[in-house]
């Protein structure tokens, strides 16, 4: 049996304290895309043998997940909105923003096992073996939010005016309309996951896994669509001037079936000396966001195992300690309100 609690949060354009407090004055774009994410989970698991080398694992869990990806143009436009005065110069940019967030509880059903490679591969890796795990989460959704904003923005410093066309599409279970019909207070989803670890030799191991492969579903969900277009005047073939609204929108209730953003993670471990390992890995949260590489070392002394690593994109130090029943992992880039990375994981496990 094991119990695990984890919280992992990161923000590119703002410190986490400002992001959670909706203080946007310090927004700064990073690279082509700016990324922010939050992963929180509580899990209680039990496992046992099933057949031969195959075992089972059953977990009850509660989790929430949010991922925001914004282009440089989206961050720049938000800077202009919260700033006291107009931008310093003219600019033109493409705007793209993508938000996916949900909270849920449910059951994780998984199988796991270990086997040797086929005989015809023994000549390549005679001492190798493969460990694997595959499962699926069945979830009851209690929150679901998606938002997509796309378009172009152009600011002319000479006239201090914007030429903008933006389209926004949002699903939000917290929105309610006076005229709406009966709304569902819950949704459902299923998310599959798998992982393979190839122990190529006593010194080398390679791993690859994918999680959150599946769909989230919510019927009669509030759906808000908006179009902002500053080009409100046009002329038809007869020379008549036509005026269009600056802002158009539509609110309704729709069924949403959302393809979840799968997380891909892979890497390798190299044991260069007894009790000393080098770890290299990278993960991708789906969509257009960048890869998140990690490198570190794992040291073993007696019954204690220590980990020290560096998250390259997050620019954060990661520390870990494992003494058997208890495992602790921490990560961060600062100890005060300037922190953009915060991770905490505590796990206890005990054989029955």
Q: What is the pLDDT of residue 157?
A: 86
Question: So what's the pLDDT on residue 83?
Answer: 84
Q: Which of 24, 44, 70 is nearest to 289 (CA)?
A: 70
Other residues' Cβ atoms within 10 Å of the Cβ of residue 70: 26
What is the DSSP track for 123-176?
TT-TT-EEEEEEEEEEEEEEEEEEEEEEEEEEEETTTTEEEEEEEEEEEETT--
CA-nearest of 29, 27, 41, 97 to 68 is: 97
User: pTM for the whole thing?
Assistant: 0.90
Residues of the chain with pLDDT under 70: 118-126, 180, 232-237, 239-244, 288, 352
| pLDDT, tens digit (0-9, with 9 covering 90-100), for 306-341 | 999 999 999 999 999 998 899 999 999 999 999 999
111 pairs with which residues across the strands? Answer: 56, 134
Nearest Cα to Cα of residue 198 among 121, 135, 264, 128: 128
Query: For tokens 């202009």, what's the residue?
Result: 80
- Residue 234's pLDDT is 61
Q: What are phi and psi of 18, to 5 degrees?
A: -70, -40
Both tokens of 47, joined, read 């496992």
State residue 54's pLDDT score: 94
């Amino acid at each position: 049996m094991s119990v695990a609690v984890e919280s992992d949060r990161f923000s590119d354009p703002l410190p986490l304290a400002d992001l959670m407090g909706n203080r946007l004055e310090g927004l700064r774009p990073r690279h082509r895309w700016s990324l922010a994410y939050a992963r929180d989970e509580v899990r209680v698991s039990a496992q046992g043998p099933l057949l031969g080398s195959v075992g089972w694992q059953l977990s009850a869990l509660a989790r929430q997940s949010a991922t925001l990806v914004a282009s440089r143009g989206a961050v720049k436009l938000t800077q202009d909105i919260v700033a006291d005065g107009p931008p310093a110069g003219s600019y033109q940019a493409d705007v793209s923003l993508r938000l996916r967030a949900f909270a849920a509880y449910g059951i994780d059903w998984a199988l796991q096992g270990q086997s040797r490679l086929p005989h015809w591969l023994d000549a390549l890796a005679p001492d190798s073996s493969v460990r694997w795990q595959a499962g699926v989460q069945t979830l009851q959704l209690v929150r679901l939010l998606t938002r997509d904003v796309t378009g172009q923005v152009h600011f002319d410093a000479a006239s201090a005016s914007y030429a903008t066309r933006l389209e926004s599409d949002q699903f939000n279970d917290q929105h309610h309309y006076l005229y709406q019909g009966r709304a569902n207070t819950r949704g459902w989803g299923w998310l599959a996951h798998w992982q393979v670890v190839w122990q190529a030799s006593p010194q080398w191991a390679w791993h690859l896994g994918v999680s959150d492969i599946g769909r989230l579903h919510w019927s009669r969900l509030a759906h808000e669509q908006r179009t902002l277009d500053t080009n409100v005047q046009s002329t038809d073939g007869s020379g008549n001037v036509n005026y269009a609204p600056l802002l158009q929108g539509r609110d309704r209730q729709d069924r949403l079936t959302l393809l979840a953003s799968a997380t891909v993670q892979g890497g390798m471990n190299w044991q260069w000396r007894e009790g000393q390992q080098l770890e290299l890995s990278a993960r991708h949260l789906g969509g257009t966001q960048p890869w998140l590489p990690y490198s570190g070392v794992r040291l073993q002394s007696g019954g204690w195992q220590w980990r020290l690593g560096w998250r390259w994109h997050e620019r954060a130090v990661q520390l870990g300690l494992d003494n058997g029943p208890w495992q602790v992992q921490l990560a961060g880039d600062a100890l005060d309100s300037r922190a953009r990375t915060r991770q905490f994981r505590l796990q206890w496990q005990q054989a029955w």
